[in-house]
Amino acid sequence: MAGHETHYTLPRAAFDKPVKILIVVAPYYKDIADNLVAGAKAEIEAAGGTWDLVEVPGALELPTAIGIAERLSNFDGYVALGCVIRGETTHYDTVCNDSSRAISMLGLQGLCIGNGILTVENRPQAEVRADPAGQNKGGGAAAAALHLVALARKWGTASKGVGFKPASDDYRLAGSTKGTPSA
């Protein structure tokens, strides 16, 4: 059973300057969402960061809210939190797949997002995963976002001696007379 396995956890991300994270939560199952948020807040604060919190109606709206915040605000990273419990219809599959896919697409565009959307079969599974004293998936999602922010800052500032630089106009035109098209 996965709940009894031991997993490696990366050391907490460290920052030279403050980090600001937006926690976006879908509180459809309010008690579960509150536990996820508590875990996320604690992890962000432990790393010396600050956070803002917004609520959206459901898991499908989480990526949209993150996309809006990225365009209109100044957050370093994002934590998406919510819970989807399997029901009697295929709506569960749609919500799980589409919310996860949209968050992944935002991540591939360069956003630093920790995905803490629980996708479970029943309420007891969600309660165990959301509990900050248990599996603490909210804290884990915040830790993931913080690690991505740390990587973005590291790679965003390392510009000397890394990668290729485009040739200057003078270099490209050295073989031809400026202003004269080359054959």
Q: Catalogue the active-site residues.
A: 91
In angstroms, the CA 174 to CA 154 distance is 36
- Separation of alpha carbons 167 and 165, rounded Å: 6
CA 67 to mean position of chain CA atoms: 11
Q: What share of the chain is helix, strand, coil (3-state, %, to 5)?
A: 45, 15, 40
Residue pair 62/82 in contact (Cβ under 8 Å)? The answer is yes
Task: Specify the residue for token string 């050295």.
Answer: 174
3-state secondary structure of 90: coil
Is 78:119 a contact under the CB 8 Å cutoff?
Answer: no
